[in-house]
Amino acid sequence: MRPSLNRRELLAGLGGAGLASLGLDRIHVPARASSPNEKLNIAVIGCGGQGAENLKQVSGQNIVALCNVDDERGAEAFGQFPRAKRFRDYRKLLDAMHGQIDAVVVSIPDHMHTRSAWRPWN
């Protein structure tokens, strides 16, 4: 004879399994040390205003280049990362640094995003 399982028992079993799976995220895994080689080389296009906030989010990485058309708006970022190369034209940044950049943070007006994010290097 087959054991019968009614809807209430099935839902109770599934609920218990779901609660058990919630406890899996509480398992402590020690963080591994990250070496400088594991950091990304990042260029930031537009580092004043909203770009300064975006720059804070990636400041733990290697900031290798900063680009802003207005020196006054970019002054704080330029001061925070004095070793980063400075540019006023994103095209010159991408041409000069394309072999040294792993990622680009684009924080400029919407109508300029596509131009600065896509640049063929053939």
Residue 69 is assigned to a structural domain of this protein: yes
Higher pLDDT, 83 or 117: 83
Q: Which range of residues forms the domain containing residue 108?
A: 36-117
Per-residue pLDDT of 18-44, as tens digits, reads 555 555 555 555 545 556 678 999 999
Residue 36: what pLDDT?
60
Residue 27 is assigned to a structural domain of this protein: no
Mean pLDDT of 55-72: 92
Residue 86 is assigned to a structural domain of this protein: yes
Residue 109 is assigned to a structural domain of this protein: yes
Q: Which two tokens stand for residue 70?
A: 């207005």
Q: What is residue 86's three-state secondary structure?
A: strand
Residue 20 is assigned to a structural domain of this protein: no
- Dist. CA 49–CA 66, nearest whole Å: 14
Per-residue pLDDT of 67-96, as tens digits, reads 998 888 889 999 999 999 999 998 999 999
Residue 84: what pLDDT?
95
- Per-residue CA distances from 80 to 42, 55, 59, 86, 99 (Å): 14, 10, 9, 12, 23
* 107: confidence class by pLDDT, cuts 50, 70, 90: confident
Say if residue 66's pLDDT is above 90. yes
Q: Which residues contact 74 (CB under 8 A, 6 or more apart)?
A: 47, 48, 51, 66, 68, 86
Mean pLDDT of 107-115: 64
Q: Is the dihedral of CA 72, 76, 80, 81 positive or negative?
A: negative
Residue 54 is assigned to a structural domain of this protein: yes
CATH of the domain at 80: 3.40.50.720
Residue 48: how many CA atoms within 13 Å on its side-chain side? 11
Please tell me the total count of domains within the chain: 1
Residue 83 is assigned to a structural domain of this protein: yes
Residue 122 is assigned to a structural domain of this protein: no
